[in-house]
Amino acid sequence: MPLDLSDESQYDRARLRQWERGRARSSGVDRRDLLKLFAAGAAAGSLGLGAAGTAEASATGAAGNGATAATTPAAAPGTVKPLPPELFTIRGTNAETNFAALHGTGPLTPLDRFFVRNHTVTPRLDPHDWRLKVWGDALTGGPVEFSYDRLRALPAVERTLFIECAGNGRSFYTTQQGQQVTGTAWTLGAIGVARWRGARLSDVLRRAGLARGAVDVLPRGLDDEVVTNGVNLGRVRRPLPVSKALDDVILAYEMNGEPLPPDHGGPVRVVVPNWIGISSIKWVGDIEVSGQPLYTPWNTDLYRLFGPDQPPHGSAPLTRQTLKSAFELELGATVPAHRPRLLTGRSWSGAAPVHRVEVSTDGGVRWQRTRLHDAPRRGSWVRWSLPWTPRATGPTALLARATDATGRTQPATTAHNTQGYLFDAVVHHPVTVV
Ligand SMILES: Nc1nc2c(c(=O)[nH]1)N[C@H]1C(S)=C(S)[C@@H](COP(=O)(O)O)O[C@H]1N2
Ligand SMILES: [Mo]
């Protein structure tokens, strides 16, 4: 059977075999360094990205295998926008949106409270000096450059889409399942939904002269190189199969009707609908178009599933986001007894529109269907609500459980993986009734 590289799972399996047999090009990083990291990821089950403020696994200790998601380094985030404590929880170089701060906001996350996930610090780039260079062995001609104005002159598309970190919900592996994981200890706020406006990546690639044999497209950020455990991983970059690149990927220059803010990749970022956040490269400066699969740390040792509950050499590189729900309420909130209130929250899925959301106010015994406040659409979230009058005083848990249009419902537990990606289990949201 011929290999169908437009089929995501076939593509990833083929890519993985090539990598394991040493046939792959490693795109700028010394291949032995990558292999070392890859072996560490598979064997110890964690990378040990220990330096504060480097990669996502920044909560890990130096040994890389003993830390839990409960520790957070003290590095100050290098963002441009302010990060007030009512809106954000700081986690190393990153800022998590407080879900309670979304209460009363519309379907779009306001820019002042959209989470920030930075491997290093936000660079300040002037749109007038900015260029996008498209290059590589799978172009019909030489490199082609796009200025900001040239990009903006291309036909524009606008879509409402979430960007969500693959590690969103990671802390619940530890607090709810008692498991050790490495990485930033996000609760559920490493997600935001925005209205993105930009050019189609497919238009840019076609204008650059895409050759028939193109396989991978590798966007790379203009932020600093990422150095971890003495290994320079180079600038942030993760390959996309050309099939996805031509399908629905956007080079965005506007977010919620504003020029793309510096912290979210301004002047131009990649937005990859429904895929894990790392795919959506911020501050994109160049895109390599290759006739062979490409490998970077972000699709080999990072952003794959490793551990005893996973395939022996790890999973294929992660692509689509999973299914989650969150209450617009602080974890551990105190709520007064006998006073009617409206519980509100949001649910989303990378696979399909959210179909139904149920809530339990008694720790999971009885479930009630919520009212949905948005027309469910893939790529975005739905807001929901349920009236609740707390009665018995004392600690309890609120649970929300979504089902998407594929029929998938959030499970009670998520199979463990060492880096704590793709948590999708129902979260027990602690509250105290007083
Ligand atoms: N160049 C660059 N792109 C990047 C990152 C980064 O650090 N540098 N972080 C990635 C990760 S891990 C995520 S989850 C999203 C976060 O996007 P946001 O900060 O706009 O919320 O951007 C992705 N793109
Ligand atoms: Mo991420």
369 CA → ligand 1 middle, Å? 35
Mean pLDDT of the chain: 88
Residues in CB range of 176: below 8 A, 6 or more apart: 425, 427, 428
Read off the pLDDT band of 74 (50, 70, 90). very low
Question: Residues 100, 329: contact at Cβ < 8 Å?
Answer: yes
pLDDT at 55: 37
353 CA → ligand 2 middle, Å? 22
Read off the pLDDT band of 77 (50, 70, 90). confident
Q: Considering only 70-79, 258-267, 415-424, which range has the smallest mean pLDDT?
A: 70-79
237 CA → ligand 2 middle, Å? 12
Q: Considering only 5-19, 34-48, 213-227, 349-363, which range has the smallest mean pLDDT?
A: 34-48
Q: Which of 117, 233, 235, 298 gets mutated to test ligand 1 (max ligand atoms within 8 A of its CB)?
A: 117
426 CA → ligand 1 middle, Å? 26
Q: Which atom of ligand 1 is nearest to 226's Cα?
A: 7
Residue closest by Cα to atom 19 of ligand 1: 116
Topology alike, domains 8-299 and 323-433: no
The protein residues having their C-beta less than 5 angstroms from ligand 2 (an ion) are 117, 165, 277-278
pLDDT of 64 > 50? The answer is no
pTM summary value: 0.88
Beta-carbon count within 10 A of 165 CB: 23
**pLDDT for 261-282, tens place per residue?**
999 999 999 999 999 999 999 9
Q: Is 22 left (phi over 0), alpha (psi -120 to 50) or beta?
A: left
Q: Does domain 323-433 have CATH number 2.70.70.10?
A: no
Q: Considering only 46-60, 130-144, 179-193, which range has the smallest mean pLDDT?
A: 46-60
- Which one is predicted more confidently, 7 or 368? 368
Q: Which atom of ligand 1 is nearest to 116's Cα?
A: 19
Beta bridge partners of 227: 232
Quote the tokens at residue 219.
Answer: 């966007």
Beta-carbon count within 10 A of 374 CB: 16
Environment class of residue 238 by beta-carbon count within 10 Å: exposed (0-12), middle (13-18) or buried (19+)?
Answer: buried
pLDDT at 229: 84
The average pLDDT across 79-83 equals 97
Please give the C-alpha separations between residue 319 and each of 139, 244, 400, in angstroms, as whole numbers: 25, 10, 25
357 closest CA partner among 399, 406, 413, 415: 399
pLDDT at 34: 53
Quote the tokens at residue 188.
Answer: 């559920």
Please state, in angstroms and rounded to a whole number, the distance separating the CA atoms of residues 306 and 392. 42
Read off the pLDDT band of 49 (50, 70, 90). very low
Q: Which atom of ligand 1 is nearest to 221's Cα?
A: 1
**For the CA of 123, the nearest ligand:** 1
Task: Express as a percent the part of the chain with pLDDT over 90.
Answer: 82
Please state, in angstroms and rounded to a whole number, the distance separating the CA atoms of residues 311 and 183. 21
pLDDT at 30: 53
Residues in CB range of 193: below 8 A, 6 or more apart: 107, 108, 109, 160, 161, 162, 348, 380, 381
Q: Considering only 50-64, 144-158, 296-310, which range has the smallest mean pLDDT?
A: 50-64
Question: Residues 186, 168: contact at Cβ < 8 Å?
Answer: yes
Residue closest by Cα to atom 23 of ligand 1: 278
pLDDT of 194 > 70? The answer is yes
167 CA → ligand 2 middle, Å? 6
pLDDT at 136: 98
Question: What CATH number does domain 8-299 carry, 3.40.630.10, 3.90.420.10, 1.10.10.10, 3.30.1330.60?
Answer: 3.90.420.10
First to last CA, the chain: 64
What b/e string do you get for 105-126 counting C-beta neighbours within 10 Å, with b at 16 or more? Answer: eebbbebebbbbbbbbbbbebe
336 CA → ligand 2 middle, Å? 36
Residue spans of the domains in the chain: they are: 8-299, 323-433
pLDDT at 294: 97
DSSP letters, 159-203, are EEEEEE-TTTTTHHHHHTT-----S----S-SEEEEEEEEEEHHH
**For the CA of 54, the nearest ligand:** 1
pLDDT at 207: 98
- H/E stretch holding 15 reads helix 8-20
Q: Is 301 left (phi over 0), alpha (psi -120 to 50) or beta?
A: alpha
**pLDDT for 87-97, tens place per residue?**
999 999 999 99
pLDDT of 427 > 70? The answer is yes
The residues lining ligand 1, judged by C-beta closer than 6 Å to any ligand atom, are: 56, 114-119, 163, 165, 192, 221, 223, 236, 264-265, 277-278, 280-283
184 CA → ligand 2 middle, Å? 9
Residue closest by Cα to atom 16 of ligand 1: 117
The average pLDDT across 250-255 equals 99
321 CA → ligand 2 middle, Å? 11
Please state, in angstroms and rounded to a whole number, the distance separating the CA atoms of residues 193 and 110. 9
pLDDT at 296: 96
